[in-house]
Amino acid sequence: MSPGLSAAKSAPLRGLLAALLATASVLLLVGAASAGEVREPQVAPPKDVPYPGTITLDVDVSDTRQGIYRVHEVIPVEPGRQTLLYPKWIPGTHSAAGPIQDLAGLVIKADGERLKWKRDKYAVYAFHVDVPEGVSRLDLTFQYLSERRGHGTMTDRMLMLEWNWVVLYPAGYYSRRITVRPSVTLPKGWQFGTALETASTSGNTTTFKPVALNTLVDSPIYAGRYFKRVDLNPGGDVPVHLDIVADAPKFLEVTDHQLEVHRNLVTQAFRLFGSHHFDHYDFLLSLSDYMTGNGFEHHRSSENGVGADYFTAWKDNATGRDLLAHEFTHSWNGKYRRPADLWTPNYNVPMGDSLLWVYEGLTQYWGFVLTARSGMWTPEQFRQALAMVAAKYDKDRPGFVWRTLLDTTNDPTAAHRSMLPYRSWQMSEEYYGAGQMLWLAVDAKIRVLTNDRKSLDDFARAFYNMHNGSWNVNTYTFDDIVSALNGVVKYDWAGFLHERVNTYTPPLLSGLKASGWKLVYTDTPSEYEKEYMSRPQSPRHLYNFAWSIGITLNDDGVINDVLWKGPAFKAGVSTGATMVAVNGREFSTEFLKRAIANAEQGKEPIELTLKYQGNVYTVPVDYHGGLRYPHLVRIEGTPDYLGEIIAPRK
Ligand SMILES: [Zn+2]
CATH code at 469? 1.10.390.10
CA of 90 to the centre of ligand 1 (A): 13
**Within this chain, do residues 569 and 502 fall inside the same structural domain, yes or no?**
no
Mean pLDDT of 472-489: 97
Confidence band for 541, pLDDT divided at 50, 70 and 90? low
Question: Which residues does residue 159 pair with via DSSP β-bridges, in sequence order?
Answer: 154, 223
Given 143, 161, 187, the domain boundary residue is: 187
Confidence band for 432, pLDDT divided at 50, 70 and 90? very high
CA of 298 to the centre of ligand 1 (A): 10
Given 187, 213, 234, the domain boundary residue is: 187
Q: What percent of the chain has pLDDT over 70?
A: 94
Question: Which residues does residue 543 pair with via DSSP β-bridges, in sequence order?
Answer: 553
CA of 278 to the centre of ligand 1 (A): 18
**Within this chain, do residues 510 and 591 fall inside the same structural domain, yes or no?**
no
Residue 463 has pLDDT above 90, yes or no: yes
**Within this chain, do residues 416 and 476 fall inside the same structural domain, yes or no?**
yes
Q: Which of 142-151, 388-397, 540-549 has the highest mean pLDDT?
A: 142-151
Whether 486 maps to a domain, the answer reads: yes
CA of 335 to the centre of ligand 1 (A): 10
> Model confidence over 393-428: pLDDT tens digits?
997 578 999 999 999 999 999 998 888 999 999 999
> What's the confidence (pLDDT) of residue 18?
43
Whether 247 maps to a domain, the answer reads: no
Given 187, 212, 229, the domain boundary residue is: 187
**Within this chain, do residues 465 and 538 fall inside the same structural domain, yes or no?**
no
CA of 124 to the centre of ligand 1 (A): 28
Q: Calculate the dihedral angle through the C-alpha atoms of 432, 433, 436, 441, rounding to the nearest 10 degrees.
A: -140
Pairwise pLDDT comparison (147 vs 242), residue with the higher score: 242
Whether 304 maps to a domain, the answer reads: no
**Within this chain, do residues 442 and 535 fall inside the same structural domain, yes or no?**
no
Average pLDDT, rounded, for the chain: 93
Whether 317 maps to a domain, the answer reads: no
**Within this chain, do residues 601 and 479 fall inside the same structural domain, yes or no?**
no
CA of 333 to the centre of ligand 1 (A): 9
CA of 364 to the centre of ligand 1 (A): 7
What gap in Å lies between CA 238 and CA 280, rounded to an integer?
6
Whether 201 maps to a domain, the answer reads: no
> Model confidence over 20-67: pLDDT tens digits?
444 444 444 444 556 777 888 899 999 999 999 999 999 999 999 999
CA of 325 to the centre of ligand 1 (A): 10
CA of 327 to the centre of ligand 1 (A): 6
Whether 506 maps to a domain, the answer reads: yes
> Model confidence over 634-645: pLDDT tens digits?
999 999 999 999
**Within this chain, do residues 163 and 90 fall inside the same structural domain, yes or no?**
yes
**Within this chain, do residues 538 and 602 fall inside the same structural domain, yes or no?**
yes
Nearest CA to 460 out of 481, 491, 436 is that of 481
CA of 118 to the centre of ligand 1 (A): 36
CA 120 to chain centre: 30
Question: Which residues does residue 173 pair with via DSSP β-bridges, in sequence order?
Answer: 47
Question: Which residues does residue 200 pair with via DSSP β-bridges, in sequence order?
Answer: 207
What gap in Å lies between CA 379 and CA 538, rounded to an integer?
22
Report the SS3 class of residue 216: helix
Pairwise pLDDT comparison (535 vs 391), residue with the higher score: 391
Mean pLDDT of 552-565: 93
Angle at 440 between CA 436 and CA 441, to 5 degrees: 115
> What's the confidence (pLDDT) of residue 542?
79
CA of 27 to the centre of ligand 1 (A): 41
DSSP 8-class letter at 32: P
Residues 355-376: b if buried by 16+ CB within 10 A, e if exposed: bbbbbbbbbbbbbbbbbbbbbb
> Model confidence over 498-522: pLDDT tens digits?
999 999 999 999 999 999 999 999 9
Nearest CA to 325 out of 302, 355, 357, 300 is that of 302
- Give the CATH number for residue 545: 2.30.42.10
CA of 380 to the centre of ligand 1 (A): 23
Confidence band for 555, pLDDT divided at 50, 70 and 90? confident
> Model confidence over 66-102: pLDDT tens digits?
999 999 999 999 999 999 999 999 999 999 999 999 9
**Within this chain, do residues 416 and 537 fall inside the same structural domain, yes or no?**
no
> What's the confidence (pLDDT) of residue 470?
83
> Model confidence over 103-125: pLDDT tens digits?
999 999 999 999 999 999 999 99
- Give the CATH number for residue 85: 2.60.40.3650
Return the amino acid letter for 409: T
**Within this chain, do residues 461 and 602 fall inside the same structural domain, yes or no?**
no
Mean pLDDT of 344-360: 98
Question: Which residues does residue 284 pair with via DSSP β-bridges, in sequence order?
Answer: 243, 303
Domain that holds residue 147: 40-187
> What's the confidence (pLDDT) of residue 466?
82
- Percentage helix, strand, coil for the chain under 3-state DSSP, each rounded to 5: 30, 25, 45
**Within this chain, do residues 511 and 552 fall inside the same structural domain, yes or no?**
no
> What's the confidence (pLDDT) of residue 532?
87
CA of 256 to the centre of ligand 1 (A): 28
CA of 365 to the centre of ligand 1 (A): 11
Domain count, the chain: 3
Whether 584 maps to a domain, the answer reads: yes
DSSP 8-class letter at 119: E
CA of 329 to the centre of ligand 1 (A): 9
**Within this chain, do residues 60 and 95 fall inside the same structural domain, yes or no?**
yes
Length of the chain: 650
CA of 383 to the centre of ligand 1 (A): 20
Q: What are phi and psi of 93, to 5 degrees?
A: -90, -20
Whether 87 maps to a domain, the answer reads: yes
